[in-house]
Structure 1
Amino acid sequence: MNAIDKTLATDISLGHLLDTLAAFGDLPLVFRYDGQPVRPGYHVTEVKAGQFSALDCGANPEAWAEIFIQLWDVEEGNRTHMPSGKFAAIIRKISEHVQLDGSARLTFEVSDGVQPMQLYCASAPIVGDDVVHVELTPRAASCKPRDRWLAEQAQAAACCGSADPARCCG
């Protein structure tokens, strides 16, 4: 059985998302998950910030900050997709009451109110057709020691293929 090889390129921080949205406040913000866009009536129903401490499967201590944004994917009347600026304003309002670390790992919890909530990570926003698109991909389980080993192997392969292999492959 093959393990899913996830890449960190699809895992942006809250700060990255908000920085991008700041330049496009009037454009609709459309999240996509499971191959479909969220419905125009979607709501941000909850934002949670957490500090986590854990022990991974290799007995290595782990610690990280994570922010969870819950999206309720519903249709409501003739609403349009939320403007990027409104989404950013909701997050700013929440930050008045809950400390949000802009560099924290960002996880989206999405449900239509019928299906169970699913966890997603977000790709960098893309602006096109007068819309800000954010692709949400399922957040897969992973083995952190294996992920670190794969990252080291990729770095070594990239380094050894450089113009100066003696610098990093000695």
Structure 2
Amino acid sequence: MNVIDKALSSDISLGLLLEALAASPDLPLAFRYDGRLVKPGYHVTEVKAGQFSSFDCGANPETWAEIFVQLWDIEEGDRTHMPAGKFAAIIRKVSEHVKLDGSAKLTFEVSDGVQPMQLYCASVPVISNGVVQVELVARAASCRPRDRWLAKQAQETACCGPANAATKCCG
């Protein structure tokens, strides 16, 4: 198994996904979610971009850009998984009409046409058995004030640990 990019992540941007796919445009592209691969006949049924503004549970204003890629997980005739380059071409075609920010948060909406659509974030593509695979991880709800607090705690712990006790970051 070869990782296209060594910086594994479970929430990559559209730009990072396209950059990784450019390395293997002729290989089939398969998405994996809920422990299984999408069916070979899958379709990219919609790509949309949004700008969002909100207030979180701590009354903090939040703004972000997000791109949604909708996958219809169906079996269709004798089709095979589309090449990575075709997926990239679909995104390029959309970007001719819709402003797509490559650094925006990337969300996949996946359904088989029967089950409700589920939201996923994407991991860095991996080449396995001649197929570019992108693991889709269920997007969980979170509390942004808590997430910021945890990140700050982790930074302080890393900065002020025993090895760094004499540095000025410990106050």
Q: TM-score, normalised by structure 1?
A: 0.92
State the one-letter code of the partner of 2:17: L
Give distance in 2, aligned partners of 1:78 and 1:162.
60
2:164 pairs with 1:168 = no
Offset of residue 29 of structure 1: 0.7
Do structure 1's residue 95 and structure 2's residue 95 form an aligned pair? yes
What residue number does 1:55 align with?
Answer: 55
Q: CA deviation at 1:160?
A: 2.1
Between the two proteins, the alignment pairs up a number of residues equal to 163
Q: C-alpha offsets along residues 112-158 of structure 1, whole Å, 9 cap, x if unaligned?
A: 00000000011111122211111101111110000001111111122
Coordinate RMSD, CA, aligned:
1.3
For 1:10 and 1:167, how far apart are their aligned partners in 2? 33
- Counterpart secondary structure, 2:153: helix
Distance 2:31 2:100 in 1: 21
1:77 matched to which residue of 2? 77
**TM-score between the two structures when normalised by the length of structure 2:** 0.92
Take 1:26 and 1:163, find their aligned partners in 2: how far apart are those partners? Answer: 48
How far residue 45 of structure 1 moved from its aligned partner, in angstroms, is: 0.1
**Any unmatched runs of 5+ in structure 2?**
1-7
Output one character per residue of 1:22-71: Cα deviation in whole Å (capped at 9) or x when no partner. Answer: 11100111100000000000000000000000000000000000000000
